[in-house]
Structure 1
Amino acid sequence: MSLNPSELKEFLDAKVETYNNPNFIESDPIQIPHQFSKKEDIEISGFLTSTIAWGNRKSIINNAQKLMGLLDNAPHDFVMNHKETDLEKLLPFVHRTFNGADCIQFIASLKHIYTNHKGLEQVFAQHAETDSLQPAISKFKSVFFEIEHLARTQKHVSDPLKNSAAKRINMFLRWMVRPNNTGVDFGIWENLSPSQLSCPLDVHSGNVARKLGLLNRKQNDAKALLELDTALRQLDSKDPVKYDFALFGLGVFEKF
């Protein structure tokens, strides 16, 4: 498909309109944090849901729902006030390679972040760069695992400085930072700006971006993410990641 830059922008802006609305929520994992109203519940449920967001979307949603039930549908309260014995019911949990032991580690690391680092938003905001949150994601990973932890759980938090596209954390950051002007994303993190976000790069968005000439690199890694980010910032420097809706929608719903 060959479009000149202004045609491409017009085409993608129209697709953003199509998909960035509340109907998007019913088939997307973002529905899980939408069940909560307290800031900390939204961010913790969002973080845990995005962590297991790979594979079949139905099973992601079902398992994230199951996980919220195990946390008494009050994730922040559970993280902060659980007793050792409360953790036992998490042991049978499994989503692909993320298991109960990983889950318990995540609860411990989250408690550490809310107790000693003023919460998730603070950790990302403190290490953000003007035009990118990728270094902040790397720093977040080191804070997340600065307490005693299982080595195996480290693979469930990506590190962009090790050439990961960090799709799931970038998706989580989109949820938290982009404004809630269409009822999809939350916009509850006011210390960060949509202009700093990076696109959640996965198989679907990557393939569509290549077909549209926004991305040449074959692998979906950190270098590809930088290339895609650069292209999307030329289309809209203030809110580049709104195009995630267009790329994802074209890939998943239109088999573009």
Structure 2
Amino acid sequence: MNKKELKSFLDEKVEQYNQPGFIPNDPVCIPHEFTKKQDIEIAGFMAAVFAWGQRKTIINKSREFLHLMGNEPHQFVLNYSEEDLKPFLNFKHRTFNSTDALYFLHFFRWFYERHDSLEEAYTKGLSEDASMDARLTHFFELFFSLPDHPIRTYKHIPNPSRKSACKRVNMFLRWMVRQDDKGVDFGIWHTIKPNQLICPCDLHVDRVARKLGLIKRKQTDWQTAIELTENLRKLDPTDPVKYDFALFGLGVEEKF
């Protein structure tokens, strides 16, 4: 396909998958169970952190974690007692365990006592045109700035400097930042612009993008995600990450 044909093909697939029917079977359904901004942020962040493996398991584990928070995550992190934390000692999802859970809750309390929105963790102290690399590194450093943070928890917060493609956090940022009238992404953050986002590069997206010639790099890491996004910007400079819907849908639903 030439560029014009590729754009037409992918635009059609975006329209097909960027619609409410996409929500129930995807981890994005988790933040959609909430209406308060801070609840959407916390629920979305946890669903993205848990986004390893089968989508059904990710959704179930996310709901289990939020149930332990009384399904009021913002109020919970601001007001939990030591007694309230005990159920989290038995929580586990793949390599995410109770040590990780308790630190995440500790960070959320510390952060929301000082800030209104999690967006500030990706923007405060940075220029409006800061690169996503800089934003994710800034968040990583902020997240682990509290005393006695567990080193083992590093693996759950992707960081470009650690050669990660940062798929999960890029997915979370897509949910929070992208703005359209389709009802899937929330668009509740406004400092970061859609054209600054980096495409989540998971197994399915990676495979389809390579078939379509959007990725040439052999390995899959942060530079691969940058390469993919730069090629998607050639198709839509203002909203390149909308094509995540097309690539993911082609890979998962159509086995392209």
TM-score normalised according to structure 1 size: 0.96
| Matching residue of 2:15 | 17
Structure 2 counterpart of 1:120, which letter?
L
> Superposed, which structure 2 residues align to 1:62-211 within 5 Å?
62-126=60-124, 127=126, 130=129, 132-148=131-147, 149-211=149-211
- Secondary structure, counterpart of 2:245 in structure 1: helix
- CA change 1:201–1:128 in 2 (3 A) is farther
Cα RMSD of the aligned pairs, angstroms, is 1.2
Aligned-pair CA distance for 1:223: 1.1
Rounded Cα–Cα distance in structure 2 between residues aligned with 1:128 and 1:37: 29
Aligned-pair CA distance for 1:116: 3.3
Contact 1:128 1:136 in 2 (8 A): no
Structure 1 counterpart of 2:104, which letter?
F
Rounded Cα–Cα distance in structure 2 between residues aligned with 1:168 and 1:119: 19
Deviates more, 1:159-168 or 1:67-76: 159-168
Structure 1 residues 2-39: Cα deviation after superposition (integer angstroms, max 9, x where no partner): x0000000000000000000000011000010010000
Percent identity over the alignment?
Answer: 52
Structure 2 counterpart of 1:197, which letter?
L
- CA change 1:140–1:201 in 2 (3 A) is same
Aligned-pair CA distance for 1:75: 0.4
| Matching residue of 2:26 | 28
- CA change 1:128–1:209 in 2 (3 A) is farther
> Superposed, which structure 2 residues align to 1:209-228 within 5 Å?
209-228=209-228
Aligned-pair CA distance for 1:134: 2.2
Rounded Cα–Cα distance in structure 1 between residues aligned with 2:190 and 2:128: 15
TM-score normalised according to structure 2 size: 0.96
Rounded Cα–Cα distance in structure 2 between residues aligned with 1:131 and 1:32: 29
Structure 2 counterpart of 1:133, which letter?
M
- Secondary structure, counterpart of 2:10 in structure 1: helix
Rounded Cα–Cα distance in structure 1 between residues aligned with 2:77 and 2:219: 36
Aligned-pair CA distance for 1:125: 2.0
For this pair of structures, how many residues does the alignment match?
254
In structure 1, stretches of 5+ residues that fail to align are: none
Aligned-pair CA distance for 1:189: 0.5
Contact 1:40 1:76 in 2 (8 A): yes
Rounded Cα–Cα distance in structure 1 between residues aligned with 2:53 and 2:129: 32
Aligned-pair CA distance for 1:154: 1.2
Aligned-pair CA distance for 1:180: 4.4
Query: Once superposed, which parts of structure 1, at least 4 consecutive aligned residues long, lie more than 6 Å away?
Result: none
Aligned-pair CA distance for 1:129: 5.5
Rounded Cα–Cα distance in structure 1 between residues aligned with 2:229 and 2:142: 26
Rounded Cα–Cα distance in structure 2 between residues aligned with 1:245 and 1:218: 23
Contact 1:195 1:237 in 2 (8 A): yes
Structure 2 counterpart of 1:205, which letter?
V
Rounded Cα–Cα distance in structure 2 between residues aligned with 1:104 and 1:237: 40
Contact 2:164 2:221 in 1 (8 A): yes
